[in-house]
Amino acid sequence: MSFTLSELPYDKTALEPYISAKTLDFHYDKHHKGYLNKLNELVENTHYQHMAIEEIITRVYDNSGNLPIFNNAAQVWNHTFYWNSMKKNGGGKPKDGSLLAKKIQDDIGGFDKFYEEFSSHGVSQFGSGWVWLVFEKGRRELRRIYEMNIPQVTKLDNDLRIITEQVRDVDSVALSIRVGVGSRAESAKQNGISHFLEHMAFKGTKTRTAFEIAKAFDDIGGVFNASTGRESTTYYAKVLKKDIKTGIDILIDILMNSTFPEDELEREKGVVIQEIFQTNDSPSDIIFDKYFEAAYKDQPFGRSILGTQDTVKSFTRGDLDNYINEHYFGENMLFAVAGNVEHEEVVALTKDFLSKIHSKKLKKSQNASCTGGEYLEHRKLDQVHLLIGLPSVSRHDDKYHTFQVLDSILGSGMSSRLFQEVREKQGLAYSVYSFNSSYTNTGMFSIFAGTDSSNLDKLLKSITTELKKLSTDDLKEEEVNRVKERVKSQILMSRESVSSRAETLGHYYGNYNRYISKNELIEKISAVTTANVKKAAKELLSQHEKTTLAAIGEIKSLPSYDKVVSMLKA
- Residues taking part in catalysis: 198
Q: In angstroms, rounded to a whole number, what is the distance separating the alpha carbons of residues 1 and 44?
A: 8
The amino acid occupying position 133 is: L
The amino acid occupying position 411 is: G
Q: Indicate the length of the chain as a whole number.
A: 570
Count the Cβ atoms, other than its own, within 10 Å of residue 180.
21
Strand ranges, E, within 349-428: 373-378, 384-391
The dihedrals phi and psi of 85, each to the nearest 5 degrees, come to -85, -5
Q: Is 90 exposed, middle or buried (0-12, 13-18, 19+ CB in 10 A)?
A: exposed
Q: Are 155 and 161 in contact (CB under 8 A)?
A: yes
Nearest 5°: the CA angle 349, 353, 358 is 145
> Does the CA dihedral 503-508-514-516 come out positive or negative?
negative
Distance of CA 155 to the CA centre of its chain: 20
Helix or strand or coil: residue 360? coil
Q: Are 194 and 231 in contact (CB under 8 A)?
A: no
Q: Are 234 and 182 in contact (CB under 8 A)?
A: no
Q: In angstroms, rounded to a whole number, what is the distance separating the alpha carbons of residues 511 and 507?
A: 6
State the number of CA atoms in the 13 A half-sphere of 71 facing the CB.
17
- Distance (Å) of CA 100 to CA 215, 440, 556: 47, 49, 81
Long-range pairs of 42-50 with CB within 8 A, sequence gap ≥ 24: 42/68, 42/69, 42/72, 43/69, 44/2, 49/1, 49/2, 50/1
Nearest one of 67, 63, 73 to 38, comparing CA atoms: 73
Q: Is 213 exposed, middle or buried (0-12, 13-18, 19+ CB in 10 A)?
A: buried
Q: In angstroms, rounded to a whole number, what is the distance separating the alpha carbons of residues 112 and 557?
A: 78
Q: Are 541 and 406 in contact (CB under 8 A)?
A: no
Nearest one of 400, 436, 447, 444 to 551, comparing CA atoms: 447
Q: Which residues have C-beta within 8 Å of that of residue 311, sequence separation ≥ 6?
A: 188, 189, 190, 191, 192, 193
Helix or strand or coil: residue 533? helix
Q: Is 181 left (phi over 0), alpha (psi -120 to 50) or beta?
A: beta
Pairing mode of beta strands 548-553, 373-378: parallel
The dihedrals phi and psi of 128, each to the nearest 5 degrees, come to -90, 130
The amino acid occupying position 396 is: H
Helix or strand or coil: residue 219? helix
The dihedrals phi and psi of 274, each to the nearest 5 degrees, come to -65, -35
